[in-house]
Structure 1
Amino acid sequence: MLGQGFVSAAAIAASVLFVLSLGGLSNQEKAKRAVWYGIVGMAVAVLFTAFGPGIGNYWLMIPMIAIGSVIGWKVATRVAMTEMPQLVAALHSFVGLAAVFVAWNADLERRRVLAAQALGAGYQEFSAFAALVATKASDELTFLQLEVVFAIFIGAVTFTGSVVAFGKLAGKVDGKPHKLPGGHMLNAGAAAFSLLLAILYLNGAGFWTLLILAALAFFIGWHLIMGIGGADMPVVVSMLNSYSGWAAAAIGFTLSNDLLIVTGALVGSSGAILSYIMCKAMNRNFVSVILGGFGGGTQGPAAEIEGEQVAIDAAGVASSLNNADSVVIVPGYGMAVAQAQNAVSELVRKLRSAGKEVRFAIHPVAGRLPGHMNVLLAEARVPYDIVLEMDEINDDFPKTDVTIVIGSNDIVNPAAQDDPNSPIAGMPVLEVWKSSVVFVCKRGQGTGYSGIENPLFYKENTRMFYGDARESIDSLLSLID
């Protein structure tokens, strides 16, 4: 058993490592080291918390940690990068559900202590948490109840919201937005009823209030995310990440665990900041994101698209690349699905060896997870200095000879600028159509995951390079001079 001093020192060390981890993840060159900071910080946090004062039941805790570690290792080694977004959503759901269970247990312990005190009995046979509750004054117990309410509500919303997000990202749930009749009024009514239950609970009502509160929050989380279209899932995942952080912080206050408070606050605040940045990148209202109020509606019918999609073969694409001086590659989720990043990296190497300027254009919400494309390119050892953000490269498209779009739709859709009735109207996009020639690597003529038509595919300077992205890029490699 370790003393409180050791635990406090470990909490400070782990907190510093978590901050360093978050800071390093903003830079591709430091990202791997930053991940190790996070791993070591979490190991320190778990170890010193598990063997801290007032902790027991090791016969149960140690096997659970071992089982969870093995499962985590197995999942991490089997999940491909294409499945990483839904894995993150699934992990968010675990945090939310854990917050609900811990909050329920905290209130049951509170009730046991109060009952024992009313009878003049001791509470020493209860848990360490019960002993902590017994020392609290009445106003501190009120704050404990507030923490319980907050943890249950945010945790339950996070759980069902993350489950739906997982389903949409994995293709197990329709990616289109769906709402029950009544739409936002149902969510508002459930939230108002939740507030009423919280007031009743704070005024002495029974444990049943927390059960119904959780049920209502489960509904809100499910209905909020069901009402958001698949094209907006990157922002949703980021926002759910923030929710899970605040749920963890609330539980930290409940358990008087400083490290959990710090960790939850870091996750919650960083997730909220990232969501805000992504909302700006998509021209979305931040408050509307939180309330699940975007992703589905339009002001009228979208503009009709004229023309036809013109296909091209590998020889035609290779001919244009051989004659080009400047090339921009725009990766999207289609590249991840086909696992084409290594083939793309080899194509870049050959083009640069031929003296051509090659760069990547990365939209802030490319893929289904913030930073998804950056991770894939880093995995394929693409040089960091040729990977540029949208704002850095958008003005260069008119001077670009060839742009290759690999599995992207919304982030290169001119309807965002030209059609006020488009579901993505006003969203900043990569203006690839201003290049001399645009080649779009795409499996077929469908609208893809988001279900939004793209006029880019019908423009005179666009040619459709149909097929699996990895096979298509591989077919070019032998044709590049």
Structure 2
Amino acid sequence: MLTMIPQLLIDTVGIVAAFLLTFGLWRMSSPVTAPAGIKVAGVGMVAAVVASFLYSFSVGPAAAPHLPVNLALAVIALTVGIGLAWWSGRKVAMTAMPQMVALYNGMGGGAAGAIAAMELFGNHAHGMTQLSVTLLGAIIGAISLSGSLVAWAKLQGVLKKPLRIKGQQVINALVMIATLGVGLYIMYIVQSGEVPIMPMQGVIWLFFGCATLFGILMTLPIGGADMPVVISIYNAFTGLAVGLEGFVLQTPSLMIAGMLVGAAGILLTLLMARAMNRSVSNVLFTRFGDAARQTQGAIAGSLKPTAAGDAGIAMRYAGSVIIVPGYGLAAAQGQQKLYDFVKLLIAAGVKVRFAVHPVAGRMPGQMDVLLAEAGVPYDLIYQLEDINDDFASTDVVLVIGANDVVNPSARSEKTSPIFGMPILDADKAKQVYVVKRGEGKGYAGIVNPLFYADNCNMVYGDAQAVMTEMIEAVRGLGLPAAA
């Protein structure tokens, strides 16, 4: 009876936690309700973690002597994990958010892989179904862990260039075949009872080593411009791995949460790939972003610098302005100054809107989060498909730190690595001002012809400093700010 009550509580809390996670994820579909959704999902996660301690009431006689030590280790791990997450969540800069997400994806995949390892090393996975699901979750979790760590290194600048070698796709295929082969051999040994050619622990380590190596090799050659899609893919991998290991452990909350995250990650990946007019396989198995092997036609025109104050006054007297935010805005932490400038324009009767490209920044949704952090109303933020037709009738477009997402080469230059990718049609506006720190290229490593166009002027400088100059210039005209 003492063991039935804790198990009933665990199952009940698990179902409630799964509902809270599902409801929280649904609330995250809108920027308005996303903060509440995160809190609801967090409550569900805390409930599931606390309920897991009830398993201590049903341990067997063999495990009972180790129970105090195991409980102490669990509490220490939770304390350290919560402390690090709380500190990093509060201290990490917006520009480093993609790196943190990549790390957290990797940790989730690693946790799923660790569960699979415990099942395999402890010989707890019985039956073909349970064993195959355990191995599949192990493969996906290990790939997510190592691939996410490589993605973090790329985003952090530790790995500055894609690493590519001759015959790399063949090598990757051989490593994956080896991983699957070792996994099938483990299944054969477990089911047949035969003695393996090497100690079983060695076979399991070889299996995890091959899967981990594949994750590294798969991610190393991917170009920087594909990082938003890569992060989304590994998010999906982590969710699937957690869901599969939840099935192995017969934990409903893990199964439901994992499958939800996996499904959402897959959908987001497909949407991101479509936003780049490419397939997921094209992202993973081609050399997108390798500017060294691409050619680009001659660019006519010249760069035309202008003062920040002059650009700000021009927007004050415009009838309509569209702002295109990019990673440079996040790097300069200029979002609050930008919104202060926007409020001045609105007070002067200017129609102002923001245009956000699906792959702007270094991770999915980074620009939306950046603008929300500054307090920009959601009804001023438009996605590509909702605003692209309006650029041709817009007086001024202000591009801040964006490059590839407004590069017209995507429409006309067949040799460009971004050819075919839908872009924001900023070049069709009557006047374009581009805020950049210098004349550097975008994340895809190619020159943007927009910057040389007759209707484009460059405003060089840090985005926050530039916005401050624009604010001062407009305020000098004696205009009040909007509420």
TM over 0.5: yes
Structure 1 match to 2:45 = 42
Matched residue, 2:62: none
**TM-superposed deviation, 1:294:** 4.7
Write the mapping of 1:342-361 to structure 2, written as runs, cut at 5 A: 342-361=336-355
Partner of 2:110 in structure 1? 97
Aligned to 2:32, the other structure's residue is in SS state helix
Give, in angstroms, the shift of residue 8 of structure 1.
Answer: 1.4
Q: Is the 8 A contact 2:289 2:444 kept in 1?
A: no
Size of the aligned set, in residue pairs, is 452
Counterpart in 2 of 1:442?
A: 436
- Does structure 2 conserve the Cα–Cα contact (< 8 Å) formed by 1:227 and 1:295? no
1:51 equivalenced with 2:54 (yes/no): yes
1:295 to 283, 288, 291: 288
Q: Mapping of 1:72-221 within 5 angstroms?
A: 72-110=85-123, 140-174=126-160, 176-204=161-189, 205=196, 206-221=200-215
Judging changes above 3 Å, is the alpha-carbon distance between structure 1 residues 362 and 155 closer, same or farther for their aligned structure 2 residues? Answer: same
State the shift of 1:322 in Å: 2.3
Q: Which runs of 5+ in 1 are unaligned?
A: 111-129, 134-139
Is the contact made by 1:177 and 1:295 (CA closer than 8 Å) also made in structure 2? no
CA contact (8 A) 2:417 2:444 kept: no
Which of these residues, 7, 11, 16, is aligned with residue 13 of structure 1?
Answer: 16
Matches within 5 A, 1:377-456: 377-456=371-450
Contact 1:148 1:254 in 2 (8 A): yes
Distance of 1:371 and 1:44 partners within structure 2: 28
* 3-state DSSP of counterpart to 1:64: helix
The range that moved more, 56-65 or 231-240, is 56-65
Task: Note the C-alpha offset of 1:81.
Answer: 1.6
Q: TM-score, normalised by structure 2?
A: 0.90
Q: Of residues 214, 217, 227 in structure 1, which corresponds to 2:221?
A: 227
CA distance in 1, matches of 2:186, 2:308: 67
Once residues 18 and 8 of structure 1 are traced to their aligned partners in structure 2, the CA distance between those partners, rounded to angstroms, is 15
Decide whether aligned partners of structure 1 residues 144 and 172 sit closer, same or farther in structure 2, where only a CA change above 3 A counts.
Answer: same
Question: 1:449: how far off?
Answer: 3.1
Q: Conserved in 2, the CA contact under 8 Å of 1:92 and 1:158?
A: yes
Q: Is the 8 A contact 1:416 1:422 kept in 2?
A: yes
Which residue of the partner structure matches residue 66 of structure 1? 79
Q: Deviations over 1:205-235 (max 9, x none)?
A: 4332321222122221111111111111011
CA distance in 2, matches of 1:314, 1:288: 40
1:82-128 deviations in Å (ceiling 9; x for gaps):
11110010011112222222222211211xxxxxxxxxxxxxxxxxx
- Relative to structure 1, the CA distance from residue 303 to residue 335 in structure 2 (aligned partners, 3 Å threshold; closer, same or farther) is same
* Closer, same or farther: CA 213–304 of 1 in aligned 2, 3 Å: farther
Between stretches 459-468 and 306-315, larger displacement belongs to 306-315
Task: Show the counterpart of 2:63.
Answer: none
Contact kept? 1:329, 1:361, Cα under 8 Å: yes
Quote the Cα distance in structure 2 between the aligned partners of 1:192 and 1:470: 51
Residues 144-164 of structure 1: CA deviation (Å, up to 9, x unaligned) = 221232122111111111011
For 1:385, what is the secondary structure of its paired residue? Answer: helix
Query: Of the candidates 268, 276, 280, which is equivalent to residue 270 of structure 2?
Result: 276
Residues 1:471 and 1:297: Cα distance change in structure 2 (over 3 Å):
closer
With normalisation by structure 1, the TM-score equals 0.91
Amino acid paired to 2:288: G
- Output the CA distance in 1 between the equivalents of 2:309 and 2:114: 60
Distance 1:73 1:296 in 2: 35
% identical aligned pairs:
37
Query: Match for 2:321 among 313, 323, 327?
Result: 327
Is the 2:31–2:378 contact (alpha carbons within 8 Å) kept by the matching residues of 1? Answer: yes
Residue identity in the other structure for 2:241: A
Cα distance between partner residues in 1 of 2:54 and 2:299: 65
Partner of 2:481: none
Report the secondary structure of 1:479's partner residue: helix
**AA at the equivalent of 1:4:** Q
Distance in 1 (CA, whole Å) between partners of 2:100 and 2:58 is 34
Q: Shift of the alpha carbon at 1:474?
A: 0.8
Q: Secondary structure at the match of 1:203?
A: helix
Aligned to 1:367, what secondary structure does the other structure show? coil
CA contact (8 A) 1:149 1:210 kept: no
Other structure's SS at 1:29 match: coil
CA RMSD of aligned residues (A): 1.7
Q: Which structure 2 segments of 5+ residues have no match?
A: 60-66, 190-195, 478-483
Deviation of 1:197 (Å): 1.1
- The 2-side partners of 1:66 and 1:434 are apart by 54
For residues 417 and 288 of structure 1, the distance between their equivalents in structure 2, rounded to whole angstroms, comes to 19
| Post-superposition offset of 1:261 | 1.1
Deviations 1:295-328 (A, max 9, x none): 2458852222232211111232023112201000
Conserved? CA contact 2:120–2:204, under 8 Å? no
Q: For 1:293 and 1:246, how far apart are their aligned partners in 2?
A: 24
